[in-house]
Amino acid sequence: MEKILVSSSHFDTLCRDAWDLFEKNGLEVIFDPNKPFPAYTTEEILARPDREMIVAAVIGMDDYRDERKYQALPNLKAVAKFGVGVDNIDGALAQKYGVKALNAPGQNSNAVAELTVSFILDLLRAVVPLHKAMEKGEWPRHIGEEIKGKTVGLLGFGAIAKMVAKKLQCFDVTVSAYDLYPDVEAAEELGVKLTTQEEIITQSDIISIHIPATPETHHLFDKDTISKMKDGAYLVNPARGALVDLDALADALLSGKLSGAALDAFEMEPLPKDAKILQCGNVVLTPHTGAETKEAYYNVSMTVAKDIIRAVNDEEPVNCVN
Ligand SMILES: NC(=O)c1ccc[n+]([C@@H]2O[C@H](COP(=O)([O-])OP(=O)(O)OC[C@H]3O[C@@H](n4cnc5c(N)ncnc54)[C@H](O)[C@@H]3O)[C@@H](O)[C@H]2O)c1
């Protein structure tokens, strides 16, 4: 029987319909709920007696940039990212081995957009530091800020950023966005001002990052970029850790240059215990949980399962990125 190796989490609980769909199509699911995340190393795959039966992999943050992975799985037809960001799959390498690289665009966007809006509101009222103070028995006074009247700058105007813009409509804010390939129609519809990257960086009260991590965007928010941000601005990064130089951000928070930052993604995950950002006051840090809602798990798993079945049957998948 052909098999699907699943290493994304909660597949047995939140993705039952996708699991059943695989089985109805004659595909056996290999899933170990106790496997630490990210799951299968190349060595572990090489040690599996059934590796030649594996025709597709559903992955979280497993590294599919290692050529030996493709050699270890000689009958692999598809590797599907359980989500959007495919920076842990080398598309060209996958193609060399006849493997389709798949993802599920838009399926977890709402989950990330909702977290983004909650990040912004939490930061402006220092919800996390105040909660931490109360845990210590303190009762501090803190003067927060209102979102009304602020300028929110969206770096990137793709699926998630558009949903953030839509959700912000009811807050009386000015929303600006910069995208390499701007969707002018959506901007008009959502009342978003399309502008330059420079203007987003220098004029926003709150910057929210929604672009992929690429060699060009590595540490886009470094010491220099952060120094150009408005004094007292806030930075929100629910995209990818590599976009922000975390130490430069920590320095800006500690010096008071920035008022706060909220981060869901980190260059090193899990975040090292000695990371300087942990010493900063007004930060909201979440462990890459942007896409982790019941609804997103369902949507992503069904999208990915349908496309894998297409790929396994030598049909054209809908969301192929290589
Ligand atoms: N925190 C999470 O759990 C989580 C979940 C899903 C996605 N993400 C991340 O969020 C980010 C956005 O995801 P999305 O679904 O909106 O993607 P998307 O592909 O729909 O949108 C990304 C947009 O960025 C634009 N872009 C690319 N490079 C750019 C650059 N250098 N400058 C300006 N614009 C640029 C693209 O043209 C595109 O419109 C990605 O990094 C993705 O990996 C994080």
CATH number at residue 67: 3.40.50.720
Q: Specify whether 137 is located in the same domain as 252.
A: yes
Q: Specify whether 264 is located in the same domain as 234.
A: yes
Catalytic residue among 23, 189, 269, 295: 269
Number of domains in the chain: 2
- 182 to 109, 154, 164, 178, 299: CA distances (angstroms): 18, 12, 16, 7, 26
Catalytic residue among 51, 210, 288, 310: 288
Catalytic residue among 210, 240, 292, 310: 240
Is residue 269 part of the annotated active site? The answer reads: yes
CB 210 within 8 A of CB 216: no
Q: Specify whether 48 is located in the same domain as 120.
A: no
Q: Whose CA is nearest to atom 12 of ligand 1?
A: 210
Examine residue 320 and state whether it is found in any structural domain, yes or no.
Answer: no
Q: Whose CA is nearest to atom 18 of ligand 1?
A: 158
Provide the domain limits for residue 34: 3-107+293-312
CB 60 within 8 A of CB 31: no
Q: Specify whether 177 is located in the same domain as 28.
A: no
Is residue 65 part of the annotated active site? The answer reads: no
Q: Specify whether 242 is located in the same domain as 132.
A: yes
AA letter at 129: P
Q: Specify whether 168 is located in the same domain as 80.
A: no
Examine residue 321 and state whether it is found in any structural domain, yes or no.
Answer: no
Nearest to 290 by CA among 306, 266, 320, 272: 266
Instruction: State in Å: Cα 155 to ligand 1 middle.
Output: 9
Contacts by 191-196, CB closer than 8 A, 24 or more apart: 191/165, 192/154, 192/157, 192/165, 194/157, 195/153
Q: Specify whether 143 is located in the same domain as 268.
A: yes
Is residue 185 part of the annotated active site? The answer reads: no
Each of the 322 residues of the chain gets a pLDDT tens digit; together they read: 999 999 999 999 999 999 999 999 999 999 999 987 768 999 999 999 999 999 999 999 899 999 999 999 999 999 999 998 898 999 999 999 999 999 999 999 999 999 999 999 999 999 999 999 999 999 999 999 999 999 999 999 999 999 999 999 999 999 999 999 999 999 999 999 999 999 999 999 999 999 999 999 999 999 999 999 999 999 999 999 999 999 999 999 999 999 999 999 999 999 999 999 999 999 999 999 999 999 999 999 999 999 999 999 999 999 999 9
